[in-house]
């Protein structure tokens, strides 16, 4: 794969791939150079099924990650790793213990309903305290069975299969473990009520979802600031 563009402040961009789903985009500009590494979703999904993350080599980079970035400017190169466990380019290396945390939201709490915080509850074992503060959990909702309190047609968008097509991201404040339950306290109201295996929005389109609320929290790591 090759793509080259020259001109203006964007400088030069070159794209290369390793044939296994790893693509690297090199950008040259006045402030320095940048290398963006990404994994095509199909390759990342296959890698996760094997119990890991995507891996490959592109433009002298070894990465086990879905997204990564190497920025070289001012005589220093820094690496940024997202949803991965390792990244290496020359002498620059960064790693993380795991690429992500995944689970299913089984219950929810809201301040407006009298709870102490806005939170999602899960049985997944997550790092307690503020280790995940500022990170985002992406929730894939179940299939849509109603909008504005009215049933939707079986062939409507987001109603097929166990899970639908709607996702939302929620910023994490802290995590608390209570017995077998993990409370993911959020930075703001999530706007959902979960009862009897159904999740219903309390604003927006008032959609009702069935089939489970799956979530993923991607980890991040960087050499910046070291």
**CA-to-CA dists, residue 216 to 19, 105, 134, 213, angstroms:** 27, 10, 14, 10
Please tell me the predicted confidence (pLDDT) of residue 118.
Answer: 98
Its domain, for residue 120, covers 101-220
Do the domain assignments include residue 147?
yes
Q: Are 152 and 45 in a shared domain?
A: no
Are residues 147 and 126 located together in one domain of the fold? yes
Residue 226 located in a structural domain? no
How many domains does the chain contain in total? 2
Distance of CA 183 to the CA centre of its chain: 19
Q: What is the pLDDT of residues 160-213, one digit of tens each?
A: 666 677 899 999 999 999 999 999 999 999 999 999 889 999 988 899 999 889
Assigned domain for 52 exists: yes
Question: Do 207 and 150 contact (CB within 8 A), yes or no?
Answer: no
Sign of CA dihedral 105, 106, 111, 116: negative
Q: Are 51 and 67 found together in one domain?
A: yes
Same domain, yes or no: 51 and 115: no
Residue positions counted in the chain:
226
Strand partners, 115: none
The answer to the question of residue 225 being in a domain is no
- Asked if 191 and 149 sit in the same domain, the reply is yes
Residues 215 and 134 in one domain: yes
Exposure string for 59-74, b = 16+ CB within 10 A, e = fewer: bebebbbbbbbbbbee
pLDDT in tens, 89-119: 778 888 899 999 999 999 999 999 999 999 9
Instruction: Please report whether residue 167 resides in a domain.
Output: yes
- Are 19 and 86 in a shared domain? yes
Closest CA to 121 of 54, 47, 204, 178: 178
In a domain, 65, yes or no: yes
What's this model's pTM, rounded to 2 decimal places?
0.75
Check whether residue 186 and residue 151 sit in a common domain.
yes
Name the domain boundary from 98, 121, 147: 98
Least confident of 16-25, 63-72, 95-104, 194-203: 16-25
């Amino acid at each position: 794969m090759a793509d080259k563009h020259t001109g203006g402040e964007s400088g030069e961009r070159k794209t290369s791939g390793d044939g296994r789903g790893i693509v690297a985009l090199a950008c040259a500009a006045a402030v320095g150079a940048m290398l963006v590494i990404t994994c095509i979703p199909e390759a990342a999904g296959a890698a996760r099924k094997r119990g890991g993350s995507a891996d490959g080599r592109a433009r002298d980079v070894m990465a086990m990650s879905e997204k990564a970035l190497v920025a070289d400017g001012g005589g220093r190169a820094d690496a940024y790793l997202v949803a991965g466990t390792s990244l290496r380019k020359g002498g620059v290396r960064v790693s993380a213990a795991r690429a992500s945390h995944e689970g299913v939201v089984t219950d929810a709490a809201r301040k407006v309903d009298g709870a102490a915080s806005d939170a999602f509850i899960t049985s997944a074992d997550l790092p307690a305290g503020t280790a995940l503060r500022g990170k985002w959990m992406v929730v894939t909702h179940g299939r849509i069975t109603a909008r504005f309190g009215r049933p939707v047609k079986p062939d409507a968008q987001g109603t097929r299969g166990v899970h639908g097509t709607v996702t939302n991201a929620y910023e994490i404040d802290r995590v608390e473990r209570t017995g077998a339950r993990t409370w993911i306290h959020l930075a703001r109201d999530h706007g959902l009520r979960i009862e009897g295996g159904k999740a219903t929005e309390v604003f927006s389109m008032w959609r009702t979802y069935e089939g489970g609320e799956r979530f993923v929290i991607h980890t991040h790591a960087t050499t910046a600031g070291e």
